[in-house]
Amino acid sequence: MPDLQALLAQSAALHNHLCPRQVLGVQMGIYAGELLSLDLPQADKRLYALIETDGCFADGVAVASGCRLGRRTMRLLDYGKVAVTFYDTLTGRAVRLAPRPEVRSRAVALFPQAQSRWHAQLQAYQQLSRPELFTAQFVSLTLDMRALISRPDVRVTCARCGEEILNEREVLVNGEALCRSCAGECYYTVICCANAYTD
């Protein structure tokens, strides 16, 4: 059984403090292990976490589950929600966890003498049971996890800009392999070159 306090200490070390959302993230990671019968945090890449917001919550999820951006086992689908879906690549099972709508007010009711609502949540989220904290739904994913995971270390050079494209993220346009930016999906506009280099 994972040690909640040890995992919270690891998450707090990433931020130099502990906040209620980190506690929720850690609790979600532990609960996913229970629901999917997995020993977490994982050492391999069996489990994937699809988080629905960024911030300290995501670090709590990472610490407890072992799913991380750097290991390509965590993806951000930015819905602005403190929620996460865990996907087991071996069984194909997926579970989505989100805080129960009443959990904030429940925290204040449990700790009315707390210094603030924030402090009440910090305490309550460590003491409430996971079924009390979260809704848990086994779900079927509508996105293609094989395409999302792709094949690591596959590299292609963009036919237009010459930059390397990793993990099968190229787009074929008129038979040319292009990066998403050159294919028209760019999130930035170049103003000017910030440095010049000649060989």
Using pLDDT thresholds of 50, 70 and 90, give the confidence band for residue 23.
very high
Same domain? 173 vs 117:
no
Count the domains in the chain: 2
- Residues 64 and 26: beta-carbon distance below 8 Å: yes
Phi, psi of 94 (to 5 degrees): -140, 140
| pLDDT at residue 197 in the model | 73
| pLDDT at residue 6 in the model | 96
pLDDT-above-70 percentage for the chain? 99
Same domain? 47 vs 135:
yes
Using pLDDT thresholds of 50, 70 and 90, give the confidence band for residue 191.
confident
| The domain boundary residue, chosen from 104, 123, 147 | 147
- Residues 76 and 54: beta-carbon distance below 8 Å: yes
pLDDT digits (tens, 9 = 90+) for 111-151: 999 999 999 999 999 999 999 999 999 999 999 888 888 87
Same domain? 47 vs 123:
yes
Same domain? 99 vs 195:
no
The answer on pLDDT for 2 being more than 90 is no
| The domain boundary residue, chosen from 111, 130, 147 | 147
| pLDDT at residue 168 in the model | 86
Q: How many CA atoms lie within 13 A of 86 on its CB side?
A: 34
Same domain? 36 vs 62:
yes
Higher pLDDT, 149 or 109: 109
Same domain? 69 vs 137:
yes
Same domain? 41 vs 113:
yes
Same domain? 136 vs 156:
no
The model's pTM = 0.86
Using pLDDT thresholds of 50, 70 and 90, give the confidence band for residue 54.
very high
CATH of the domain at 70: 3.30.1330.130
- State how far Cα 95 lies from the chain centre: 13
Residue span of the structural domain in which 46 resides:
4-147
Same domain? 82 vs 174:
no
Same domain? 143 vs 65:
yes
- Mean pLDDT of the region 166-181: 91
Same domain? 63 vs 36:
yes
The answer on pLDDT for 14 being more than 80 is yes
Beta strand pairing call for 74-76 and 47-51: parallel
- Mean pLDDT of the region 16-22: 95
Does 152 sit behind a cis peptide bond, omega within 30 degrees of 0 on the bond before it? no
| The domain boundary residue, chosen from 104, 120, 147 | 147
SS3 for the chain is CCCHHHHHHHHHHHHCCCCHHHHHHHHHHHHHHHHHCCCCCCCCCCEEEEECCCCHHHHHHHHHHCCCHHHCCEEECCCCCCCEEEEECCCCCEEEEEECCCHHHHHHHHCCCCCCHHHHHHHHHHHCCHHHHEEEEEECCCCCHHHHHCCCCCEEECCCCCCEEECCCCEEECCEEECCHHHHHCCCCCCCCCCCCCC
| pLDDT at residue 37 in the model | 97
Q: How far apart are CA 36 and CA 31, in angstroms?
A: 8
The answer on pLDDT for 176 being more than 80 is yes
Per the prediction, the chain carries an average pLDDT of 93
Same domain? 54 vs 90:
yes
Phi, psi of 124 (to 5 degrees): -65, -40
| pLDDT at residue 71 in the model | 92
